[in-house]
Structure formats: structure tokens, C-alpha cells
Amino acid sequence: MVPRKTEIRRPRPQPGRGNRPRVGPLTGRLSDVPHLDVDALIADHNVRIIVCCGSGGVGKTTTSAALALRAAERGRKAVVLTIDPARRLAQSMGLTELDNRPRPVAGVDTSRGGSLDAMMLDMKRTFDEVVESHATPAKAAQILGNPFYQALSSSFAGTQEYMAMEKLGQLYAEALRSDRWDLIVVDTPPSRSALDFLDAPERLSSFLDGRLIRLLLAPAKGPARLFSAGMAVVTNTISKVLGGQMLRDVQTFVAAFDTLFGGFRARAESTYRVLKHKQTAFVVVASPDADALREAAFFVERLAEEEMPMAGLVLNRVTPPAAQGISAQAALAAAERLGDDDTVTAALLRLHADRLGRINTERGLRRRFAAAHPAVSTATVAALPTDVHDLVSLRTIGDSMAA
């Protein structure tokens, strides 16, 4: 029999389904927002895992790398796990290669006894490692060579998030066995929803426990006389939909993979318990725009609902304050008066007005977030004029976070 599904967590509100976060009026003052003390966080040796989470495109990868670098140069033995397939982490750390194996980062100041390793999740390789380590050699070869497994391990929805959890569990176990690392920094996968990372184990578990999987497994488990007529009808129907060869591949995979089902659930539950422990700190990453802060609000509420330890919010790419002087309205009016007489000055005045407008918009969004979540500690990172491409840039981000 396939083991009964284990519930990892209770249902919770979903974005866009009538359970929107409470948004307060524009009454909060940004000066009253508690500051996220990044240096105190990374100096706390009771914190062994920092999880950077948030919606896609908000700078989770660079935030993770900057936190890990700052921690290493302040004495922590850190490893950063990125899920970013764009390889920006490798480039910013001066690595020509970044793969599923932790590699030391050169150029890090180790005078305080720290060190820094970096790696990028290889989803399929991690899945293969799980199979190879938890199945007999013959069974592993049968699974790894199965066409359905190859599709599942490469492209099944949620596999990347689940394998990130698997790799985190592996790194944590190695850190407990040795003194190689005392801090793991995790860059969660880029997803449509910031909630996918926590939900992935349950989704994969649900798939492995699904009715179709149990149905396909049943002929190999039960007496043939119970399935001969009924199963013939079912398999013929499925065969017409999937194709005969694919159905045989799925049945072969399910029969071979059956002994590993329980292990997947057990490891997911174990890693989930680690994430809820006080040795873990969640850092929600956002940019100062409406969609990103809405996702951040959902994640803050989800973490609170799950009673998970949240350190605070890192707000990336904040427009630096403009010099005091001419207002946006006055700048636009002056640009209109200049017209074609001084196009350069007029363009600069319009840029100044645009910047002031962007600053006011960002402040309004930040006040809304602060009014709805007044207890969330926040660190801001000023927008850089160039892309992050080396350790110097990562140090600049770290300095900005800690300022």
C-alpha cells in the first residue's frame, strides 16, 4: 500500500482569492519603522539558516549573496545556495563555474576567521542524488533511466522548489556533522507566488499520493483477480489519453519509485521543522513597487500564520533622496518655459521632477506597508547606478543594508 499522505501544514489564505491583506491608511511615518539590524542578525551564531524569500525580480539573489559575503567577512563560515538560473551570483562572485557542489569564493576577507562557499541548485542533479542515495543501485538505475522520471525531475511544476528544500536539508545535515559551515543563506526560487517555496513539499507529496499514482500502482500491489476487468477498462482509457508507451513508462516508474515515497515526505517534514525553529531567520525581500510589496505582505502574514521566525524586510532598489530645492511642479513649469531655448536644462528639470515623483510614490507605498505591518523591521538598499557584477558591488549592498 502507498503510505497515507501526511499533512505538512494547514490551509492558509491565497493571494487573489478574496483574502487580501489589510492595508491601512497613509498614517505611518517611515521614521517610526523599526530597523532591521543586519549586522546583529549575521553575528548571532544561534542563527544557522537565513532564508531570503519574496516574489521574482526583487533582488533575492544579490541580497542573499551580499548577506553571505558580509557574514563571512565578519567571521561566519557561510555557504550561499542560489536558485537563480541566470548565473548572476557566479558572475558577481568572480566564479567561472557554479553548480550543485559548494565552491569556495576567492577574494573574501578571511582575517576574522570566516569563509564563503557558493553553489547553484541543479534541480535534476539533486533529484538524481536523492534517488542514488536512497535506493539500491539496481533500483536507482531503473528509476534514472525511466523516461517519465526524466521528465518529472526536469520540468514537473514544483520540483525546483522541492529540490531546494532537499538541498537545504543536505547542507544543514552536513553542517551538523562538520564545522565546514555555521551559516546557510538560501535564495529561494523565482516563482509566480512567493508562497511556492513553502508549499512545494506538500504539492509533490500530494502528487505522489494522488489517485492516479495509487491506481497505477494497484495492479502490482493487489491480487490480480480484483483488478483484471476494472483495471483493463481504466488502463485502456488512460492509454488512449497518454499513449501506450507513456503509460508503461509511468507504471514502471511508480512501481520502482514506491519505496522512496515515504522518504520524500519524511525529509520534507524534517526540513519544515528546521525552518520553524528559532535557528532559522526569514528575510522577506521586496522592491518599492505595489506588486512586490503586496507579495511581501502575503509572505509576512503567511510566516506569522505558520509561526515561522521572521527577521524582517529588505527593501531593494529604493530611489535615493533628491537634493532639497526646487519642487516637481516648479521643475516642470520651468522646463515648459525653457521650451526649445535650452533643451538640455529642460530635460534635466524633467528628470528631476520624475525622480521626485518616484520618491513620493515609493514613500506612499512604504507607508501603506508600514501601516499594515508596523512590527516588521526593515532595512533599505539604495538603487545602484550599475548592475551588481563583483564583490565590491556586493559589499556596497551589504553596507547599505546595515546602514
Percent of the chain topping pLDDT 90: 31
Asked if residue 221 is part of any domain, the answer here is no
CB atoms within 10 A of CB 16: 9
C-alpha cell at 216: 497505477
Confidence of residue 212 (pLDDT cuts 50, 70, 90): low
Instruction: Look at the chain and report how many structural domains it folds into.
Output: 1
Would you state the pLDDT for residue 204? 61
Quick check: 24 pLDDT over 50?
A: no
Which grid cell sits at 262? 515515504
pLDDT range class, residue 203, cuts 50, 70, 90? low
What pLDDT was estimated at residue 403?
86
pTM as predicted = 0.80
- The arithmetic mean of pLDDT across residues 158-175, rounded, is 84
In one-letter notation, the amino acid at residue 181 is W
For 205-226, give the secondary structure using H, E and C. HHHHCCHHHHHHHHHHHCCHHH
pLDDT at 2: 38
The predicted structure's pLDDT at residue 25: 42
pLDDT tens figures, 245-287: 666 777 777 777 766 766 777 777 788 888 889 999 999 999 9
Label each residue of 87-102 as H, E or C: CHHHHHCCCCCCCCCC
310 band by pLDDT with thresholds 50, 70 and 90: very high
339-344 average pLDDT score: 82
Rounded to whole angstroms, what are the CA distances from 156 to 40, 127, 200, 281? 39, 12, 11, 29
User: What's the average model confidence in pLDDT over 121-128?
Assistant: 86
Contact 298, 15 (CB under 8 A): yes
Could you give the CA distance from residue 180 to residue 174 in angstroms, rounded to a whole number?
8
What pLDDT does residue 47 have? 96
Residues 278-307, mean pLDDT to the nearest whole number? 91
Tens digits of per-residue pLDDT, 54-94?
A: 888 888 888 999 999 999 999 999 999 987 666 666 777 76
Kindly report the number of other CB atoms within 10 A of residue 213's CB atom.
19
Asked whether residue 231 carries a pLDDT value surpassing 50, the answer given is: no
Which of the two residues, 317 and 340, has the higher pLDDT score? 317
Q: How far apart are CA 86 and CA 90, in angstroms?
A: 9
The pLDDT value recorded for residue 79 is: 96
Sheet holding 115-120, edge to edge: 103-104, 115-120, 77-82, 183-187, 49-53, 280-286, 310-318, 378-382
pLDDT score, position 190? 65
155-164, 221-230, 318-327, 386-395: least confident range: 221-230
Per-residue pLDDT band for 213 (boundaries 50, 70, 90) equals low
Residue 34 scores a pLDDT above 70: yes
Average confidence (pLDDT) over 97-122: 89
Q: Phi first, then psi: what are they for 174, rounded to 5°?
A: -65, -40
> Does a structural domain hold residue 245?
no
Q: Is the pLDDT of residue 210 over 80?
A: no
pLDDT band at 116 (very low <50, low <70, confident <90, very high): very high
Q: What's residue 30's pLDDT?
A: 76
Asked, for residue 352, whether it belongs to a domain, the answer is no
CA 3 – CA 209 distance, rounded (Å): 8
pLDDT of residue 209: 59
Burial 67-91 (b: 16+ CB within 10 A, else e): bbbbbbbbbbbbbbbbbbeeebbbe
Would residue 4 count as lying in a domain?
no
Answer yes or no: is 224 within a domain.
Answer: no
Whether 190 maps to a domain, the answer reads yes
**Which backbone phi and psi does 238 adopt, to 5 degrees?**
-60, -40
Determine the 3-state secondary structure of 169 from DSSP: helix
* Residue 200 pLDDT greater than 70, yes or no: no
Instruction: Residue 107: give the domain boundaries.
Output: 30-211+259-324+375-402
Q: How far, in Å, CA of 49 to CA of 258, rounded?
A: 32
| 61 in any annotated domain | yes
- For all residues of the chain together, what is the average pLDDT? 78
Which CATH number does the domain housing residue 93 bear? 3.40.50.300
Residue 397 has pLDDT above 50, yes or no: yes
Amino acid letter at 110?
A: T
| Strand 103-104 with 115-120, pairing | antiparallel
> pLDDT tens, 132-143?
988 889 888 988
Q: Check pLDDT > 70 for residue 297.
A: yes
Name residue, grid cell 522577506. Answer: 284
Region of poorest pLDDT, from 2-16, 251-265, 344-358: 2-16
What sign does the CA torsion over 382, 378, 63, 293 have? negative
Q: What is the pLDDT, as a whole number, of residue 289?
A: 92
Which pLDDT band, with edges at 50, 70 and 90, does 216 fall under?
low
For cell 497518454, what's the residue? Answer: 242
Amino acid 244: pLDDT: 53
pLDDT at 71: 98
Distance CA 38, CA 400 (A): 10
Give the mean pLDDT of 13-42: 63
Given a cut of 50, whether residue 364 has pLDDT beyond it is yes
Q: Tell me, yes or no, whether 225 lies in a domain.
A: no
